[in-house]
Each structure stands twice: as structure tokens, then as C-alpha cells.
Structure 1
């Protein structure tokens, strides 16, 4: 049963941006997981796997939420790349470059999740609001830990 019969275009765009971003992040994390080298291999290899597992779950949650409120989630790689505000992983990177890239991504996600939460709140959609805020909280922890890894 849908919470509301139609979703606003702005809320649908915002949720679809999250779907695209978390899909691109999922792929970037896999890339880093496969290509990490050096003394931090075991630590980062496991951490990247933990984070891409989480990203896969977020994509599913966002898509199911969008469907529940009458929207249509994007679902192709082309749509993800045309919609995302993040950048794909490319080339060989040092472990610190990988981690710094993730810190930047999680900060970008948080800016957009806060906007999503505010929009949902203005539309009296407490479930989507809470979805955004819960992710901000998780991302804050990721940002803190990844920044600590960098020694910053």
C-alpha cells in the first residue's frame, strides 16, 4: 500500500539521484576493493567490502521507498551515470587517494541526503525523511573513520 498516491517530481529526482550515487559508489568501492595494494591491503580490502555491501542495501532501500510512494526508480547503468553527482573510479590510485576519494563522496552524499530529508519533511513524508537522516548518521561515522585513516 503506497503512503501517498503520487510523489512530487522533485522528491522523485532526489531519490533517483541517491539511487544513482549509491550505485556508482558501490562500483567504485568494488574497484578499490579489487585494486588496493600495499601494507594496508588487508584492512582496506575488508573495509571496502563492508562499504560496498552497505551501498547495495541503500540502493535497494531507496528504490523500494520510491516505489512505495508512487515513483519510478532508475535502474540502468546509463541512467545511473547520467544522474549521479559522484565520479567513477579511474586509473590506479594509492590507498590514500582511494580513501580521500571516498571521504569526498560521503560528504557529497550527506549534503544531498540532508536536502532530501528537508524536502521529505516539507512534504510530510516522515519515512523518507528518516531514511535520509539515518544515512547521514552512518556516513558521518564513515567520514570520521576514513579521515582518521588519513591521519587528518
Structure 2
């Protein structure tokens, strides 16, 4: 088995970098959805949600950078075109959403989809003992699960 300079199996690491690129593309769509929600939200909950959406898109922007840097660390090239993002996107696109519950539903659905991608990556990185990717995915998952819990509570829904 050929190993790379990180001590990880070369072939499996290439597959992992490709999966991280899928996550990267989906995070870019999630980020853009959040920007749109931030700009377009209306109603009596405007002030609270406007700030919350800004918090979420700032957080996603940091995660986007971490994912891209991990792809590079593993020897891959991060996706960086809208064409690539849309080709790999699994999230719903939120266009002109003004309603608070519709906005939160979009975020909940997006986070659920991101978690599915992250769990695939976590499983693959665990199989090759890639602790760097494991750690990053674990951190993302814990944070996003908490966000899902909080937004579900806001919607008065069970998880």
C-alpha cells in the first residue's frame, strides 16, 4: 500500500479529498443561502433572526476555509467555481425567502444534509486513521447537532 507524506494511504486519501470537496461545495451553497436569508428576512422576528443568520454565515465561512485547507493538506485541489458547487450540491436553494419559519426550515434541512455528508467523511477518515479529518468532522457534527436542536426548539418541533 502506497502511503503519502502524512502516513495515510494514498488512494483512500484521494477519495477522502473528493468527499471533502463535495462537503465544500455544499457548504458554499449553505453559506449563500444564509446570506440571502440574512438580507431578506422580514417580520416581527427580524432583529433576532437577522443577527442569527449573520452568526451562522460567519461560522460557515470559517468552516469553508477549514474544509478547503484540509483538501489541500490531503493533496487535493479545493473546488472553487460556482459550476463545481452546483454540480456537487445536495441542498435546496433558498430564493427570496422572507418568512421566518420557512427560513429556519431551510437551515434545518441543510444542516441535516450536511451532517449526512460529514458522517460519510468521518467513517472514511476513521478507516484510514486520518485523525485530522476525524477531528474536524467530529467538531462540525457536534456543533451542527446543537444548532439543529436549538432551531428545532425555536420551531417547537421534536428532533
Give the TM interval when normalised to the shorter protein. Answer: over 0.9
After TM superposition, the runs of 4+ consecutive aligned structure 1 residues lying more than 2 A away are 2-10
How many residue pairs were aligned?
Answer: 151
- Equivalent residues in 2 for 1:58-69 (5 A)? 58-69=63-74
* Distance across 2 between alignment mates of 1:143 and 1:54: 15
Q: 2:151 corresponds to which residue?
A: 146
* Distance across 1 between alignment mates of 2:120 and 2:65: 20
How far does residue 103 in structure 1 lie from its aligned partner after superposition? Answer: 0.6
Q: 1:125 corresponds to which residue?
A: 130
Larger Rg: 1 or 2? 2
What TM-score do you get using the length of structure 2 for normalisation? 0.89
> Are 1:97 and 2:105 an aligned pair?
no
How far does residue 93 in structure 1 lie from its aligned partner after superposition? Answer: 4.1
Preserved CA contact (<8 Å) 1:20 1:80: yes
Q: Which runs of 5+ in 1 are unaligned?
A: none
* Distance across 1 between alignment mates of 2:83 and 2:136: 25
CA 1:7 to 1:24, structure 2 compared with 1: closer, same or farther past 3 Å?
farther
Preserved CA contact (<8 Å) 1:7 1:70: no
What TM-score do you get using the length of structure 1 for normalisation? 0.93
Cα RMSD after superposing both structures: 1.4
* Distance across 1 between alignment mates of 2:89 and 2:143: 20
Q: 2:6 corresponds to which residue?
A: 3
* Distance across 2 between alignment mates of 1:25 and 1:60: 14
